[in-house]
A and B are shown apart, each in its own frame.
Chain A
Amino acid sequence: MPSLPGWCPVADTLDRAQEALGAFPPSLQQDYEAARGALAPVLAPQELASWADDGVEIARHSLRSWEAAGEYFRASPGMLERLTFSRFREWTRTGVELVEASPALAGAYFRSSPASLQYLSVTQAPDWAAQGRSLYKGTWKSGSLAAQYFEVSPQVLPQLPLNQMRLLVDLVESLAGHSYELASACLNMSPDVLGQLDRPDRAPFLEFGSVVAGTAWVDARVYFERGPTLVRHLHPQQRARFLALAGRVAVGVGRLGHPYFMEAAQSLAEIDRDAHRDMLELAEGIAPTSGIAAMEFVKSAPEVLRRLRPEDLPRWQEAGRQILDVSPDGGEAFFRLESSKGEDIIEALSSRVELERVSELIRMYCKALTGADVAVHSAEQLAEKGVGWVDESSPTTEGTAIYLPPTVEQYTEKDENFAVYKVFATHQAARLEFGSFAFDYARPGRIFQRAAREDAPARDPEQAEAVTAMERFFDGFADRRLAHDIFTIVEDTRIDTMVKREYAGIRRPMSRLQEAALERRRPLEEMPVRQAMIENLLRASLDEGLRLHWPAELHAVMQRPLGILGRIREEGATVEDSGAATRVLYDWIRQVPNVELDEADWSEMTEGAADEEMVDIGPGSGDGQMESYQPNLPQGEEQPYESPEPIDFRGDFKPELVQLLMKLKNQQMGDGDTPPVQLSKEQLQELLEKSTEINITELSEGDLDESSGMFLDNLMKEVEQQIQQAAQQQAGKRGDGSDPEDSGEPLPEIAESFYYDEWDFRASDYKPRWCRVQEMRMEHGEIDYYQRTLSDYAQLVQETRRQFEQLKPEMFRKIKRLPDGDDYDLDGVIEWIVERKAQAQSEAKLYYRRNKVERDVAVAFLLDMSASTDEEITKHQPRPEGTDNNFDDDPRKYLSWWAQKRAQDARHPAKRIIDLEKEAAVLLIEALETIGDTYGVYGFSGYGRDNVEFFVIKDMDETLNNDAKERLDKVAPVRSTRMGPAIRHCIYKLKQTAAKVQILVLLSDGRPQDHGYGRDRTEKEYAIHDTKMALTEARREGMTPFCLTVDRAGHDYLKQMCEDMGYEVVGDIESLPRRLPSLYRRLTQ
């Protein structure tokens, strides 16, 4: 409105404005007046007028625009504090334009402006508004989203510069294309989300967010909720890099991008932050070839780093990349750790040795050394048993098995780490071999010629009878702990010396461990004297020529123990010598007070040769000596005694407990040398309380009574288990021909697990240890079934039996025309002489020989027990006469037909596929019995790779007895068909037989199918390829695989699966029982 001179249009305008606003709710007028009051002092009159006009224009624009006008009035004073009027007008104009689009939008714009523009420069304001405007697409939902943009701006802008806010807008806009609710939720979360992130991470976070929105918009909410936490786990400098990588990958892989991001980020969180840079560098090296592989690499990194040193990782990555170049699927499987090649490479690169991989080797090694059936297990297993051992990483033995730490990675070379295992195992085996646990209370040793009994103090008659010799021995010491520590040192010295003497080859790695153990000892100076003496004794035990650190004035006190230790190293020393030495050492060392050594003149001494008298241990020996040293002994306050820290390679030594276990075992078996002694609970309880080998509180929490009760239970359980194992070993040695009656009660059926690789045709590689086959015996059913089938098929049984009898080879076959043999073949001789007379040249092949022909066939029948074998096969039956389904629409006719059919079905239930499989098996078994081939009948089913059920109906080495016949009755449809592992297990079964001809017959009703047997439920290729590979493996082993299916559609996949191997589709399923035996004949002829 032009302003005219001499007239006061301003006041006029303002009044008119007020008047105009009167048409709107009163609050608007109030806002106007409040703003006008505030603005009047700062604006020129014209400016004020145009301000008011603008307000009215906005209010009048449309139905609800007065609300926006109210916001305008309220925001104006604040805005004008910051903006020049011309800038203010620009701001207003932007608002007016927004009103054009949506009054609500404009309202949000005005309302948010004072707060938002604090964070923006003057020139940025239009851009800011334009970004919000861009979200508005003319719909109500988009309007409210855009309004929301303005509302959150004051919280977002302090965290995000405007140019980066564009990223957020893009993200939201892209989400809005799918779901406004989601877009709005994300926008709402954004201030909080951004707040959780460090400033430099925000833009990369949003950039990846945009990719997620584009590729997997549903995941956006999860990304906003959990993304910041995940990102924060990363090394600050690597976050942007990781997000960029995830973005690049997601562009390529689509929907999977976000899950990969989450999993990879989680994996990185498990790795040391400082390694993130290298890790991402390696991943980036993979990404150009395959994004999936790159992410799989990151996902697998923590697992791989558990087995490889970080510096070996590039070599592993390089190996994977090479595979990736050739086969993307192979490379991905490699990085997913689902490839045998990958496993091999890790194994080759890794310096760590896992017990699982070497336990069989070590077991045989220990068996060779000790001559006993020692098992080798992880120390964790022993700790779990709760029978006194608690350390999960210390090598030890409880008398029947050797327990070792689950992994060793002390050194950088695999060989060295294996050598560590070997030293561990040798030391424990030596305890068994050299009789550490055979301590006898009454038997004198060979070096000292004294039995423990002779030197023991008188026993308190009140005291309960000791259970074991070891317990009795330790009872003779007031300070049981000290005695136990000394005995351990002495006995370990003896064992180490014996090992080094007997096994020269182990000396070097053992010395290395001894040196390493020495280096780790705590300084002597910190210890009180008695403890330091024990410590020195221990050090001397680790190295014969060691220069010991010891106060000069106390040399003489130390000399005698060292001399005695030296004698234990003599050839022929027994555990009783260790006992005798312990007695003397204990008596000697006990006299030394356990006080601090304040001022000592530390010097060096060696074990050296002590004089005769010093190391004499007869009665009264050394009694007076200590007194003469008395003045030299330090004085002071007695300190508590602490046991020396254990030596790693020697591990836990619990002779008392081992003897107790042995005793309990003998008592249970009742066949020890000594008559079975009933141990009372009190005796055990007492032993438990006094023994220093068991720390009840460490074993379990709870009150003492309860935990000692539990301990006893565990102990008894362990003893029973050992007895069972021993019995099983005995049974195993006797062979299977042994009478099952002698083993007493039948043991409960336990499924035995076997692991097999699975072939991944995409990766052209095996997935290592992928499937678990659970072998179990089929339950017993009714024997009638077998007999009934035989009588049902009586005719056929006769026929096949006759046919099979003809297969039986003649024992000897005469082979003629040999140059050498049993005797002349008369025809040949006559012919030859005639020819010679006729001057013809002919070879003198005149002999015959009887050659023995043996039939040596083993066959494994594998029955498909998948759910689909439940299908009835009525449809193949010829329709009964007179049922032409022509009921003339007469329901009565139909009903009577139906009733008739029902009755018939009840009499002869329809056969299912499985029934025919079973019947065929019965017939074949009958036929095979006549011919005498070795055979096994198995069924398989299961669900998933870790649960392939393999049912034994009749094992290879079993004779056909009622058990097997009863089991056959129980064959029934179960679940899926994972053929590969079942075939592999059959191969294993066949390999156990030594037969020359080995045949594997697979009887199925359809294609292989299982959960996870292929990329998804519908994929068939994977399962077929794996099955084919399993069959090929059988062929490679020299077996003849044969597939028989009753699936009429079987030709297509069988052709692929069996290729040049034998297969047959039995079109008329009912002929199966007839077909199978004749097929078998053909196979073996």
Chain B
Amino acid sequence: MTTASEGTITQYRSWAVEEFRAEEEPYYVPVGDEVELFQAAWDSKVPVLLKGPTGCGKTRFVEYMAYHLNRPALVIRDGRKVIESEDNLPLVTVACHEDLTASDLVGRYLLEGEETKWIDGPLARSVKAGAICYLDEVVEARKDTTVLIHPLTDHRRILPIEKKSQLLQARDGFLLVISFNPGYQSALKDLKQSTRQRFISIEFGYPPRETEARIVAHESGVDMDVAMNLAKMAEKVRNLREHGLSEGASTRLLIYAGKLIQNGIAPRRACQVAVAWALTDDGDVQRSIEEVISSIFE
């Protein structure tokens, strides 16, 4: 970890991508056996695909797993291997977008002075560091990137760096995790079978009302009654999918609403801005969500 500017008061902290680790345990409430599944996948070096609607906790789950997956730091002392310390895994997260190319992930030459200098991309760095590399919304990226990850996801676990004519063998601990939201992407942006079939797939849904309320209460600080109402409201709003709503209200939005409520915003108003208006621009749908909100909150 390095501070941004030496000698001045540090306003922010920054890390090299492969050095980032969660310091505190991320809050995550397991809904099913996803923790065990992920653990097993990591142990056996099987890449993981996380499927689920936005804001249901995929990213948080990966953070949580990275924190809990320990990689022993091996040190040779007196001719014997000793476990010196256990360290949680670094987590490299790449949010994929439609202009994300292979070289954005692997690395490229940059000009420096009159020379060129190779800079590793995040994928190459996590391969070297043995980190979990999390490609969020992978289908958004260009097709060439998905092909790039193929050799990393099978028994070879290598990353070819074409421009340098190198092959990079992944360090222990490296795991490729991708996420994919089947809900709103058009058929065009479906994952290719050849890519899909390289991952085990863990499906995420919205947590049950009780669990979701607990999460909301924890994350936003509202009391359990309010959290239950928020979760109830989300459940109702999720019934409206396919009605101009491509996705239901996410847990994340509920947490936002909870935070607003915690900061003194009236619940109806908080839900209006955090849920109804955030979800859709369609006036009719907005109005019906608002009616649901006003039925649940006084």
Known: A361-B291, A369-B239, A371-B239. A505 touches B268 (CB 8 A): yes
Q: For the complex, what is the distance from the CA of A846 to the CA of B292, rounded to whole Å?
A: 55
Nearest B-chain residue to A737, judged by Cβ:
B187
Contact of B237 among A368, A504, A733, A823 (CB under 8 A): A368
Nearest A-chain residue to B98, judged by Cβ:
A852
Min CB distance B117 to A, Å, is: 13
Q: For the complex, what is the distance from the CA of A505 to the CA of B232, rounded to whole Å?
A: 13
B285 within 8 A of A: yes
A642 within 8 A of B: no
A641 within 8 A of B: no
B111 within 8 A of A: yes
Q: Which of A364, A368, A836, A846 has the most CB of B within 10 A?
A: A368
Contact in complex: A504, B296 (CB < 8 Å): yes
Contact of B111 among A507, A846, A852 (CB under 8 A): A846
Contact of A422 among B239, B268, B285, B291 (CB under 8 A): B291
A826 within 8 A of B: no
In chain A, residues 947-965, which have Cβ atoms closer than 8 Å to a Cβ of chain B? none
Contact in complex: B295, A364 (CB < 8 Å): no
Contact in complex: A365, B268 (CB < 8 Å): no
Contact in complex: A507, B298 (CB < 8 Å): yes
Min CB distance A731 to B, Å, is: 14
Contact in complex: A505, B101 (CB < 8 Å): no
Mask: chain B, 286-298; 1 = CB below 8 Å from A; 0 = not: 0111011111111
In chain A, residues 342-371, which have Cβ atoms closer than 8 Å to a Cβ of chain B? 360-362, 364-365, 367-371
Min CB distance A620 to B, Å, is: 40
Contact in complex: A368, B236 (CB < 8 Å): yes
Which residues on B sit within 8 Å (CB–CB) of A360?
284
How many A residues, CB 8 Å from partner?
29
Q: Which of A365, A426, A506 has the most CB of B within 10 A?
A: A365
Q: Which of B101, B111, B239, B295 has the most CB of A within 10 A?
A: B295
Contact in complex: B292, A822 (CB < 8 Å): no
Nearest A-chain residue to B229, judged by Cβ:
A504
Nearest A-chain residue to B244, judged by Cβ:
A364
Min CB distance A129 to B, Å, is: 77
Known: A361-B291, A846-B111. A367 touches B239 (CB 8 A): yes
Q: For the complex, what is the distance from the CA of A1062 to the CA of B287, rounded to whole Å?
A: 39
Contact in complex: B298, A504 (CB < 8 Å): yes
Contact of B298 among A361, A369, A505, A846 (CB under 8 A): A505
Contact in complex: B242, A368 (CB < 8 Å): no
Which residues on B sit within 8 Å (CB–CB) of A609?
none
Contact in complex: B297, A365 (CB < 8 Å): no
Which residues on B sit within 8 Å (CB–CB) of A822?
101, 103, 108
Contact in complex: B243, A367 (CB < 8 Å): yes
Contact in complex: A370, B288 (CB < 8 Å): no
Which residues on A sit within 8 Å (CB–CB) of B296?
502-505
How many B residues, CB 8 Å from partner?
30
Nearest A-chain residue to B239, judged by Cβ:
A371
A833 within 8 A of B: yes
Contact in complex: A364, B240 (CB < 8 Å): yes
Min CB distance A910 to B, Å, is: 47
Which residues on B sit within 8 Å (CB–CB) of A371?
236, 239
Min CB distance B46 to A, Å, is: 31
A844 within 8 A of B: yes
Which residues on A sit within 8 Å (CB–CB) of B142?
852
Which residues on A sit within 8 Å (CB–CB) of B240?
364, 367-368
Q: For the complex, what is the distance from the CA of A742 to the CA of B268, rounded to whole Å?
A: 46
B114 within 8 A of A: yes
A894 within 8 A of B: no
Which residues on A sit within 8 Å (CB–CB) of B232?
502
Min CB distance B265 to A, Å, is: 16
Nearest B-chain residue to A419, judged by Cβ:
B294
Min CB distance B107 to A, Å, is: 11
Mask: chain A, 816-835; 1 = CB below 8 Å from B; 0 = not: 00000011100000000100
Nearest A-chain residue to B285, judged by Cβ:
A364
Nearest A-chain residue to B142, judged by Cβ:
A852
Which residues on B sit within 8 Å (CB–CB) of A508?
298
In chain A, residues 834-867, which have Cβ atoms closer than 8 Å to a Cβ of chain B? 836, 844, 846, 849, 852
Q: For the complex, what is the distance from the CA of A331 to the CA of B95, rounded to whole Å?
A: 58
B184 within 8 A of A: no
Which residues on B sit within 8 Å (CB–CB) of A367?
239-240, 243
Nearest B-chain residue to A433, judged by Cβ:
B236
Which residues on A sit within 8 Å (CB–CB) of B109?
823-824
Contact in complex: B114, A361 (CB < 8 Å): no
Min CB distance B272 to A, Å, is: 12
Q: For the complex, what is the distance from the CA of A506 to the CA of B291, rounded to whole Å?
A: 10
Min CB distance B86 to A, Å, is: 39
Q: List 17 A-B contacts (CB under 8 A).
A: A364-B288, A365-B288, A365-B292, A365-B295, A368-B288, A369-B295, A502-B296, A504-B229, A504-B297, A505-B293, A505-B294, A507-B298, A823-B103, A836-B114, A844-B111, A846-B111, A849-B101
Binding site for A on B (CB under 8 A): 101, 103, 108-109, 111, 114, 142, 163, 229, 232, 236-237, 239-240, 242-243, 268, 284-285, 287-289, 291-298
Binding site for B on A (CB under 8 A): 360-362, 364-365, 367-371, 422, 426, 502-508, 733, 822-824, 833, 836, 844, 846, 849, 852
The 9 A-B residue pairs whose C-beta atoms are closest, nearest first, are: A364-B288, A371-B239, A503-B295, A368-B236, A505-B295, A365-B291, A504-B298, A505-B294, A506-B295
